[in-house]
């Protein structure tokens, strides 16, 4: 499979810190993969994600998306081709579900019919009835429904890569499991590349075609769930897997 | 009192119109200046803090003193009055404008940035609409404060309701004092009621399905 994303010796240190949040990471992601990025808090997993859409800039190293160095691209344009979902969802509280989902299509000046059709298509995709939910405000939705809308909003213009930062972290166990199943179905159908940050081992192993385990800013293992389970790379990974059983 | 009004009604009318003129012009200029200053300083927390502190200090200067201070520079009359009133308003307006813009959830802004919205787009479509009720509260305060301080502007010949009040004080005419007080207080109360109605209408429009006072609409 073709490579879509590559990190070359990428390091990021925050001002005032005496360690690298992301410590010289090399990484290659193939097109259509679902990479679950697993780590404890402070492991650098969210930082790694935010380097891809340039919410953070690396101190050294290069990141290539579809073979092109992202530091040479306009960050605003770059982000319009990348879906981004965060745990706190960040829906715009003063806009309806429809307007939230239509944000990027409207920026890209899609005509109204195309936008409306896309909004309804996406709502159905994430399991919400368009007739019922289209005109609601975020405050009129449950947490799980809000995150479905967040997902639909990120998928709106068919991004090359989806970045998901603990999207189900604040959702109860039952809804969470349903959302994971639906996300897997959406991924399988769209064949896009997903990077999914989580600190939940079961979630990472359930979702990831490959799991990337981070510790202290470094990648300690990056492989399929089966290989990680059968041949954990070192004591940290062993302990991590052990803690989940 | 009625007799005075029937005989000198034109004077009262003239004073009221002049007062409204001063308040209206002051507000237009104040809001324009405060918006411009807010846009300039909002990028830096430190600049915003310092700006608010400076205008806060100016706001603490008694209006009579500030009027007197400016007479050698800009002379007597309405222009000087408006200048002073605009300067006073900056504290109330800028403070609320910045507080409103800062009150927007940073995670909402992060989501918007991550989606590829420009800084300007985020300001226009996300931050301003969400900040609007707080900004309006600042405008409300500045309207009431301007109506009050503008009466004092009569001492530098700016005209307005203050003229009647100060005339009354000088000639010890209770009728004039009463009319002046009535007009000044009435205008402030009327403006307050109108602004409260506007704020109600805005907060209703801006409740986004959150307000508990309107559940039936929210869930229909």
Is residue B133 situated within a structural domain?
A: yes
What pLDDT shows up at residue B210? 61
Long-range contacts of B178-184 (CB under 8 A, 24+ apart): B178/B1, B179/B1, B179/B4, B179/B5, B179/B12, B180/B15, B180/B151, B183/B12, B183/B15, B183/B16, B183/B19, B184/B19, B184/B147, B184/B148, B184/B151
pTM above 0.90, yes or no: no
- What are the structure tokens assigned to A5, written together? 């994303």
Give me the phi and psi of A84, to 5 degrees please: -140, 120
Is the per-residue pLDDT at B20 higher than 50? yes
Residue pair A203/A165 in contact by the 8 Å Cβ criterion: no
A92-139 tens-digit pLDDT: 999 999 999 999 999 999 999 999 999 999 999 998 999 999 999 999
Asked if the structure places residue B216 within a domain, the reply is no
User: B120-129: per-residue pLDDT in tens?
Assistant: 999 999 999 9
> In the numeric block, which tokens belong to residue A174?
């039952």
- Chain A residues close to B117, C-beta within 8 Å: 76, 103, 107
B162 to chain A, minimum CA–CA distance in Å?
A: 43
Domain assignment of residue B116, given as a range: 2-207
Please indicate if any CB of chain B lies within 8 Å of the CB of A90.
Answer: yes
Mean of per-residue pLDDT scores for chain A: 91
For residue B204, list chain A residues with Cβ-Cβ distance below 8 A: none
Q: Looking at beta carbons, which residues of chain A come within 8 Å of B114?
A: 53, 55, 79, 82, 84, 86, 163
From first to last of its 245 residues, chain A has per-residue pLDDT tens of 689 999 999 999 999 888 999 999 999 999 999 999 999 888 999 999 999 999 999 999 999 999 999 999 999 999 999 999 988 778 999 999 999 999 999 999 999 999 999 999 999 999 899 999 999 999 999 888 999 999 999 999 889 899 999 998 888 888 889 889 999 999 998 889 999 999 999 999 999 999 999 999 999 999 999 999 888 888 888 888 877 65
Q: Please state the domain count of chain B.
A: 1
- Residues of A in Cβ contact (< 8 Å) with B129: 94
Task: Provide the chain B residues 87-146 that lie in CB contact (below 8 A) with chain A.
Answer: 105, 107-108, 110-118, 121, 126, 129-130
- Is A139 in contact with B210 (Cβ distance < 8 A)? yes
Using the Cβ of A41 and the Cβ atoms of chain B, whether some distance falls under 8 Å is answered with no
Q: Which residues of A touch B126 (CB under 8 A)?
A: 92
Give domain status of residue B6, yes or no. Answer: yes
Nearest chain A residue to B117 by CA: give it.
Answer: A76
Inter-chain Cβ pairs, chain A and chain B, closer than 8 A:
74
Query: Is B10 within the bounds of a domain?
Result: yes
Partners of B111 on chain A (C-beta within 8 Å) are 84, 86, 89-92, 150
DSSP assignment of A203-223, as one string? HHHHH-SEEEEEETTEEEEEE
Does residue B212 fall inside a structural domain?
no
Contact B107 A90 (CB under 8 A): yes
CA distance A112 to chain B (A): 18
User: Do A55 and B114 lie within an 8 Å CB cutoff?
Assistant: yes
Q: Name the 3-class secondary structure at A89.
A: coil
Contacts of B99 (CB under 8 A, 6+ apart): B134
Q: Do the domain assignments include residue B218? A: no
Of B143, B180, B177, B142, nearest to B159 by C-alpha is B180
Distance CA A92, CA B130 (A): 9
- Between strands A218-223 and A161-165, the pairing is unpaired
- Listed in sequence order, the residues at least 6 apart from A163 whose beta carbon sits closer than 8 Å to its beta carbon are A49, A50, A52, A53, A82, A83, A84, A85, A195, B114
DSSP labels for chain B? Answer: -HHHHHHHHHHHHHHHHHHHHHHHHHHHHHHHHHHHHHHHHTT-HHHHHHHHHHHHHHHTS-HHHHHHHHHHHH-SSHHHHHHHHHHHHHHHHHHHHHHHHHTS-HHHHHHHHHTT--HHHHIIIIIHHHHHHHHHHHHHHHHHHHHHHHHHGGGGT--SHHHHHHHHHHHT-HHHHHHHHHHHHHHHHHHHHHHHHHHHHHHHHT-TT--GGGHHHHT-
- Under DSSP, the state recorded for A71 is G
- Nearest CB among A81, A93, A107 relative to B208 is that of A93
Q: Walk me through the domains of chain A, giving residue ranges and CATH numbers.
A: 3-81+159-244 (3.40.50.300), 93-158 (no CATH)
Residue B218 has pLDDT above 80, yes or no: no
Q: CA-CA distances (angstroms) from residue A192 to A65, A115, B172?
A: 13, 21, 85
A contacts of B209 (beta carbons < 8 Å)? 136-140
Q: Residue B217: inside a domain, yes or no?
A: no
**B112: domain CATH number?**
1.10.3720.10
A86 touches chain B (CB under 8 A): yes
Q: Is residue B62 part of a domain?
A: yes
Cα distance between residue B1 and residue B82, in whole Å: 31
DSSP state of A97: H
Q: What is the pLDDT of residue B32?
A: 97
């Amino acid at each position: 499979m073709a490579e879509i994303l590559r990190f070359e010796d990428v390091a990021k240190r925050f001002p005032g810190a005496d360690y690298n949040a992301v410590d010289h990471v090399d990484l290659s992601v193939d097109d259509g993969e679902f990479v679950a990025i697993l780590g404890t808090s402070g492991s650098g997993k969210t930082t790694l994600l935010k380097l891809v859409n340039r919410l953070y800039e690396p101190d050294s190293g290069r990141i290539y998306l579809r073979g092109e160095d992202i530091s040479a691209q306009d960050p605003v344009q770059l982000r319009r081709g990348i879906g981004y979902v965060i745990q706190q969802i960040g829906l715009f509280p003063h806009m309806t579900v429809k307007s939230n989902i239509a944000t990027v299509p409207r920026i890209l000046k899609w005509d109204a019919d195309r936008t409306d059709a896309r909004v309804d298509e996406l709502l159905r995709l994430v399991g919400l009835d368009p007739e019922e939910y289209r005109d609601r405000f975020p405050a009129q939705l449950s947490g799980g429904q809000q995150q479905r809308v967040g997902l639909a909003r990120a998928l709106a213009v068919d991004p090359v890569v989806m970045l998901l930062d603990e999207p189900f972290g604040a959702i109860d166990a039952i809804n969470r499991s349903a959302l994971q199943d639906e996300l897997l179905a959406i991924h399988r159908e769209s064949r896009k590349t997903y990077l999914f940050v989580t600190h939940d081992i079961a979630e990472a192993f359930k979702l990831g075609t490959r799991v990337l385990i981070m510790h202290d800013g470094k990648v300690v293992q990056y492989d399929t769930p089966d290989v990680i389970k059968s041949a954990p790379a070192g004591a940290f990974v062993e302990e991590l897997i052990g803690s989940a059983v | 009192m009625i007799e005075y009004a029937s005989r000198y009604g034109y004077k009262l009318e003239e004073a009221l119109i002049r007062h409204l003129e001063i308040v209206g012009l002051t507000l237009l200029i104040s809001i324009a200046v405060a918006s411009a200053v807010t846009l300039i300083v909002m990028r830096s927390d430190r600049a915003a803090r310092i700006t608010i502190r400076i205008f806060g200090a100016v706001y603490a200067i008694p209006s009579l003193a500030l009027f007197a201070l400016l007479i050698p520079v800009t002379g007597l009359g309405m222009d000087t009055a408006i200048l002073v009133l605009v300067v006073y308003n900056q504290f109330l307006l800028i403070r609320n404008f910045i507080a409103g813009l800062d009150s927007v959830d940073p995670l909402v802004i992060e989501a918007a940035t991550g989606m590829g919205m420009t800084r300007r787009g985020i300001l226009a479509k996300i931050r301003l609409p969400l900040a609007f009720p707080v900004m309006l509260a600042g405008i409300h305060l500045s309207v009431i404060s301007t109506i009050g301080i503008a009466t004092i502007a009569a001492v530098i010949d700016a005209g307005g309701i203050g003229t009647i009040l100060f005339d009354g004080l000088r000639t010890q005419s209770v009728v004039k004092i009463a009319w002046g007080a009535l007009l000044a207080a009435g205008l402030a109360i009327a403006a307050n009621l109108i602004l409260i109605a506007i704020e109600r209408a805005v907060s209703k429009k801006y409740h986004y399905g959150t307000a508990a006072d309107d559940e039936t609409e929210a869930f229909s």
